Amino acid sequence: MKVLVTGANGQLGRDMVLLLEKEGHAVMACGREQLDITDQFQSNDIISTYHPEAVIHCAAYTAVDAAETDVDGAYLINATGTRNIAVAAEQIGAKLIYISTDYVFDGTSDVPYQEYDNTNPQSVYGKSKRAGEMLVQSLSSRWFIVRTSWVYGVYGNNFVKTMLKLGQEKPKLQVVHDQKGSPTYTVDLAHFLIELMSTEKYGVYHASNSGACTWYEFTQAIFEEAKRIPDIDIQAELEPCITDQFPRPAPRPRNSVMDHLSIRTNGLKDLRAWREGLRDFLKEIHIEQN
C-alpha cells in the first residue's frame, strides 16, 4: 500500500515508517521539514502529488504542560493542522488514521473508558486533540481515530528512558502512585495501525498495551526488568507519592485506562501485555547503545 506518514521524525512516526518499509509498503515519511501541516496549501499539494492510499497522521503538539500557556500553538497543530490533513486526504479518497490520546477523558471514571463514552478533556492538550478528533469525524469519510496512552519507544525522550537515567543516578526516587494507565510501546502500536489500515473497519479505537498500572508500578517494572540487562546499574530506592506532591501546570487524568472494545468487536488482534512490550523495548535500547 502507498502510505504517507506525518510526524515521521517523532517517537511513533519513526517506528511507523520503519515497520511499513519492512513490510513492503511504499512510504513517504514527512517530518516538519518536509510537510508543515499548518500550511493548508502545502498539505494539499504534497498529499495530492504523492496520492497515498492511506495517511497516518502522527504529527502533534504533545508538550502537555507548555500547551496550558501556548493555547494557540496547541490548537494550530492539533486542530487546524489536523483539519488540513483531513481535507487533503479526503480530496484524494485516502484513508486517514488520526492518533489521539487518553487525555480526551477527565480521568474520574472508576472503570476503563470505552470508545463511545463521553469525552471531557481537562487540559488544553486534551481539548486540542479532541478538537482534532471532531474535525476528522466531520471532514473525512474513511477515518480511524486511535486513542493511545503512555507512549514510549526507542526514538525520542520518554518516561522509561528518564526513569532508567534517574534510577542509575539518584539514591532515592519518588513516583506518583495515584495515576493509573496503560503503557504503550510504539512498535506494538505501529503493528496494530498497519493491521487496521488494511481494513475498512472505520471508527474510534482504543489501542494501548494490555493491562494497567500506576506510574509507580510502571517504574518498579522498569527497574526489575532493567536489572536483568548487563551494564544497567539501578541504584535508586523507589518511593510512592501522590500527584499533589508534584503539581504540574496541566491536570493529569487519575484513571486513563482504556477498554479495547472496538478491537474486540471488530475481530482485530489486541496489543500484548504492557510488561512484555517493556521487556522488548529494554532489549532494543540495549542493542542500540552497544
The catalytic residue positions are 125
What grid cell was written down for 245? 506532591
Looking at the DSSP bridge assignments, the partners of residue 180 are 214, 255
In this structure, the chain runs to a length of 290
- Residues near 125 by beta carbon (within 8 Å), at least 6 away in sequence: 61, 62, 63, 64, 67, 74, 78, 101, 103, 250
The most distant pair of C-alpha atoms in the chain lies apart, rounded to whole Å, by: 56
Instruction: Using only the alpha carbons of the chain, give its radius of gyration.
Output: 19
Q: Strand, helix or coil at 73?
A: helix
Of residues 82, 190, 206, the one with CA closest to residue 133: 82
The answer to whether 60 touches 99, Cβ cutoff 8 Å, is: yes
Alpha-carbon dihedral 208, 6, 8, 95, rounded to 10 degrees: 60
Surface-to-core class of residue 286, CB atoms within 10 Å of its CB (0-12 exposed, 13-18 middle, 19+ buried): middle
In Å, what is the CA distance from 284 to each residue of 153, 183, 280, 281, 288?
A: 9, 17, 6, 5, 6
Separation CA 190–CA 247 (nearest Å): 33
